[in-house]
A and B are shown apart, each in its own frame.
Chain A
Amino acid sequence: MRNYIIRGCLQSIIVVWIVLLIIFLMLHLTGDPADVLMPPEATNEEVDEFRKEMGFDRPLHEQYFSFLFGHKENLGVLRGDFGTSFYHQEPAMGLVTERIPATLMLAVASLFVGLVIAIPAGILSAVFRKSWIDHFSSVLSMAGQSIPNFWLGLMLIIVFSEILGWLPTSGYREAKSIVLPAFAAGLYATARIMRMMRSTLLEVLSQDFINTARSKGIREAVVISRHALKNASIPVVTIIGLELGGLLSGTVVVEVVFAWPGVGWLVVEAIQSNDYPVVQAAVALLSFMFVGVNLAVDILYAWLDPRISYS
């Protein structure tokens, strides 16, 4: 088990390193980062001066080294310094971490919406297979995977804010302003968790030990709640973890729709104002969080299921 965890951590470190390489190379895609970063109306002299100041005239490997370990007053990304935001004139990482709670809150709320609908619906449709509730949840899961979350958000605004006037179109301060964004962002996760819950429970229900339990005269409700659900929980826990990881970065467009002050909205604004230190910091931080959640899910999975070999 210990070796398994150590290996997982090592693999995560390699992944983080590749992520940082991709983020570094991103600005060099056109060959000249100075050209990308400077506004189009800048003169050639200004671009040249900026290129010197930022060190873009140095060899690529040297630039990568200073990107990681720092250069002049910059501490380097390994110490969390992604430079200063061009637009806000503040450390880029600080701007991103300020927005993390809002994104985290939306992700958790969306997951909560997903779980509240998906777990009961998944269980019921597995137990009452081919009944109306099963058909209804299969329609719901197909819809959940087909409706773009930002369009769902717009439609929810029309119905619940404009027509019925029950919920606000945007905002962050009131508790009820999270309801619509959480539903819009959570529908996809709902569909996936529901499908997973249903298919794993069906698989477990077809196994011998369930028949044994039934033939012993145990009531069906007890068979399902005590014997089947316990065994179906492992893959479901895994997919819940993965969905949380996906939601951290999957809510970008929903954030924009509801003017939700999270990382996604910050990045969209930063891209529009060519503020790449902020973009790089945000992409890096969300990637690390994703890697962290995945590692936690892996370890949890191994801990829950003793059949997994650690070799």
Chain B
Amino acid sequence: MATEKPINIDTISDDNGDVMPQPSEFKLAIRELLKRPPALFGVFFILLVIIMAIVPWLFSPHDPLEQSLIRHLKPPGFVDADGKVFYLGTDQLGRDILSRVIWGSRVSIAVGVAAVFVSGFIGITTGLIAGYYGGKIDAIISRIVDATLAIPFVLLAISIIAILGASLQNIVLAIALRTWTVYTRVVRGEVFSLKETDMITGARSAGCGTVRIMLVYLLPNVFSSTLVVGTIYLGRMIIIEASFSFLGMGVPPPTPTWGGMLAFGRGYLDTAWWLTFFPGIVLTLTVLGVNLLGDWLRDVLDPRMKRLDD
């Protein structure tokens, strides 16, 4: 009796009839990533900055707060009398720039990630409601979105921070107050087209409640585009946090922040370029990394959003 091979849906055969394993989606994504050096750079740099933000003491050669007037404004590569090396130089209070850049990643990453989550939560909720109900509710939400977009964001945000006081959560709040609108618009548009599909009409006729339809059927379907938007906006949030710190409206000193370092260095543009160059280049590379990652995610997760860009 001939034994028939069971058909395995995970394997396909090539021309010779040999069975080849089908790579998993994760492996495909990794393979795709290896083919794109810019995205690969983005992933590596972001991972590095995140690890720096979580365990800065592993990387930081010196105490970021330790002052010393003897070694103030020393150029990169300076070695002091004890043989300690200051690779990126020191600032006007003699603090090590490299250590401050490493510790400064904490505020940037914390504010950026928290702002993405808070604004994503508000935006997805309002987007689901506006898209699902349509009509008057949609009109109200859309006008609020328009008004929010019309207000000069940085000015409103720094006023709110000044009124409430500069703390981590107030900064996140001030950023999220504006950026939720982006998610609202994306989710609203997607839900508009989704709610006419058989899936939703079927769920409704099967007696699903509104909340259940939103959470079980709509939410997973808008997830990938919100993830893409979230990644692209993470970079902007990091820039916004840095500009608040630069204007003196960020997390107050002595906590090192990239924007705060730039503000301090501004007074020494003619004599000590390293004060402004290094924090800024790390800030830029971080944002660049996030943007490259966002571009890649958009192509992988959301081919509909892909324009004729490449």
Whether the pair B155, A283 counts as a contact (CB closer than 8 A) is: yes
- Per the CB 8 Å criterion, the residue count for chain B at the interface is 45
Q: Does B199 contact A (CB under 8 A)?
A: no
Whether the pair B159, A158 counts as a contact (CB closer than 8 A) is: no
- 1/0 per position for B245-270, CB-CB distance to A under 8 A? 01111000000000000100110011
Q: Does B43 contact A (CB under 8 A)?
A: no
Q: How far is the CA of A151 from the CA of B162 in the complex (A)?
A: 23
Whether the pair B152, A26 counts as a contact (CB closer than 8 A) is: no
- Chain B residues proximal to chain A, CB less than 8 Å: 38, 143-144, 146-148, 150-156, 158-160, 162-164, 235, 239, 242-243, 246-249, 262, 265-266, 269-270, 273, 276-277, 280, 283-284, 287-288, 291-292, 307-309
Task: Tell me the number of A-to-B contacts counted with CB atoms below 8 Å.
Answer: 142
Q: Which of A58-80 contact B (CB under 8 A)?
A: none
- List, in ascending order, chain B residues with CB within 8 A of A151's CB: 242, 262, 276, 280, 283-284
Q: Is the interface of A mostly helix, strand, loop or mixed?
A: helix
A14-B143, A271-B159 given; A148·B280 CB < 8 A: yes
Whether the pair B155, A252 counts as a contact (CB closer than 8 A) is: yes
A29-B164, A146-B287 given; A287·B150 CB < 8 A: yes
Instruction: Select A30's contact among B148, B163, B284, beta carbons within 8 Å.
Output: B163
Q: How far is the CA of A249 from the CA of B146 in the complex (A)?
A: 16
- List, in ascending order, chain B residues with CB within 8 A of A155's CB: 276-277, 280
Task: Kindly list 9 other residue pairs between chains A and B, CB separation below 8 angstroms, not including A195-B309, A283-B151.
Answer: A16-B150, A142-B288, A145-B291, A146-B288, A148-B280, A151-B284, A155-B280, A279-B155, A287-B152
Which residue of chain A lies nearest to B242 when distances are taken between CB atoms in the complex? A148
Q: Does A223 contact B (CB under 8 A)?
A: no
Q: Does A18 contact B (CB under 8 A)?
A: yes
- List, in ascending order, chain B residues with CB within 8 A of A157's CB: 269
A151-B280, A199-B309 given; A283·B147 CB < 8 A: no
- List, in ascending order, chain B residues with CB within 8 A of A150's CB: 243, 246, 262
